[in-house]
Amino acid sequence: MDPNDPVATVWNRRQFLVRLAVTGVAATSVAALFTAPPAARAQTDATTDTINAILAFVVPGDDPYSRQQGMATDRPGGVTPGTTDSLRRTFDLAVPDMGLTPLGLDVTGADAVAALVNLFAVTAEPSSVTGPFAAPFANLSHASKAHVFDLLDTDPRFPGRSIAYAVNAIPTLAAFVAYSEVSAFDRDRRVLTGRPVGWALSDYAGVGDGWDEFLGYYGGVDRVEG
């Protein structure tokens, strides 16, 4: 549509108003997931489900979240031991306050990321509130998840606000964590305990200290006399 076309302008405004109204209704149900008392949230951690669903979306694997979205593989992917906690900590540090209070979501960090993603999941597909996972986003298909990120990326309310940075960072940070060494990294001893999943996914052979063919002199000569 031509942005200078008055008909197109009216239509875009109508779309925006409809989306705003639907978002307001969805915020009520999503807020209940992330503002409940800690004891109640412990039984169904929607933030954990959301983080795992994001990891599965970016790097599908053999986990339940990948299978639920209809795109999975026969080997580990983004959802592996350590990646969920690592991405949660990353979100807490990278996006401590996204300014979601106007949307009825008084949460920060990883909870804010999860609340925002689920808000748009419910807005785009109301039926996502039912499914095997506590988080609506985790119940979506891979294509529907992509649609949610498309809506987040093009929402006219976000440009110029910190929330726009957070939206763009969500899949990027998820990919970084999925391909990092965190799946086999002992944070206490700061050593690898095995071959990280990210290395297997990228066919990385691991750290090398050099190759035998570059040791010594050409032809096996290791000294010269005279």
Task: State residue 193's pLDDT score.
Answer: 86
Chunked mean pLDDT (size 10), the chain, 226 residues: 40 38 51 56 72 97 97 95 91 76 70 87 87 92 96 83 82 93 86 87 77 60 68
Quote the CA–CA distance of 47 and 54 in Å, as a whole number: 11
- The answer to whether the predicted template modeling score (pTM) of the entire model surpasses 0.85 is no
Q: Residues 69-111: pLDDT tens digits? A: 999 999 999 999 889 999 999 998 887 666 666 566 677 788 8
Quote the CA–CA distance of 173 and 55 in Å, as a whole number: 9
CA distances to 35, 157, 184, 201 from 163, in Å: 19, 9, 32, 31
What are the φ/ψ torsions at residue 6 (nearest 5 degrees)? -60, -35
